Amino acid sequence: LDGLPPLDGPVAGLLGATILLGGVSWLDDVHQWPPVLKLAAQFAAAILVVATGPYPHGVLSPIMGDVPGAVLGGVLSVLGLVYLTNAVNFMDGLNGLISGAVMLACLVLGGLMLGGPTPGGPMLGGPMLGGMALILAAALAGFLPFNFPAGRIFMGDVGSQSCGLLIGAFGLACAAGQPAGAAWSAVPLMLAGVLYDVTYTLVRRWRRGARLMESHREHLYQLATTGGLSPVAVTLVQWGFVLWGGGIALLVTRGRLAAVTAMGLVLLPQLGWTWLVR
C-alpha cells in the first residue's frame, strides 16, 4: 500500500458503513434476526456516512425551498439513505433489475463527480468517491452476466442493501457540492422507477390496511410479470427509466432544466407504467 493516497474521512466512513451493513445483513441471512435489528443497522450505517462525509447543510426541495441548518440537513440525509437502502432492497426481486439499474446510475454519478465544475458549483465528492462510483459500476457489470437474463448468482440482502447505501452516499456527495444548485435531484431522478414503485406500493398497502412489514408480491414490477410481461422486458423497462432519468439529471446539474420540471418529466413514465400494469 506504500505510495497510495490515504483514505479521507468520507471514503473511510463509507467503507466502514458498508462493511457494517453488509456484515449485519449476512448475519441476518444466517440467523433470521427480527427486522428491527436490520433497521437499526441501516440507521447506524447511514449515520456513519453522514457524520464522516459531505452532505447537504441546506436541503433543497421544490416545495420547502432552502431549509438551512446542519442538523436538519443531517437528519434528512440519514432518513433518505435509510429509505433508499430499503427501496433498492425491496426492488431486488427480478434478475438484473437492481444490479443493472444501480450500475447505470453509478456510471452517470461517477461522471458527474469527476466531470469538473458546473453552473451550480463544482460537483463534489472528490475524485475518490467519484472513482468509487465507477468501481461499483464495474463490479456490477462483472456481476450482471451471471444475474441476467438467467440468474445463477444473486445479490441478496448483503448486495442490494450495500448498493442502496453506496449510491445514496454518492448522491449526497454530489448534493454537497451544489448547496445552491439542483444536484440533490440526481439520484432521485435516475432511480425514479425504484423510488416510485416502492412508495406507490407502500401507500397502496397502507391505505388497504395491510401489514407493511409482511412480505408480498404487490410491487408494480411484480404485477407486470404476473400480468404477462416477461421478466426480461420488465427489467429492460426499469433500465430505461434509469437512462431517461440520467439524461434529465445531466441537464439539471448543468443548469439547462429546472429540478421541478425534471421531476415531472420522470414522473410521467411512472404514471404510464402504473396504468399499464394495473
Q: How many other C-beta atoms can be found within 10 angstroms of the C-beta atom of residue 106?
A: 25
Question: What is the model's pTM?
Answer: 0.89
Find out whether 89 is annotated in a ligand binding site: yes
- Report d(CA 75, CA 224) in Å as an integer: 35
Find out whether 86 is annotated in a ligand binding site: no
Quote the pLDDT of residue 274.
95
Quote the pLDDT of residue 55.
61
- Report d(CA 104, CA 192) in Å as an integer: 13
Quote the pLDDT of residue 111.
84
Which residues, 6 or more positions from 208, have their beta carbon under 8 angstroms from its beta carbon? none
pLDDT along the chain (278 residues), means of 10: 60 91 90 89 94 61 47 83 94 94 93 66 61 93 92 89 93 71 82 96 91 84 93 96 94 85 94 92
Quote the pLDDT of residue 116.
57
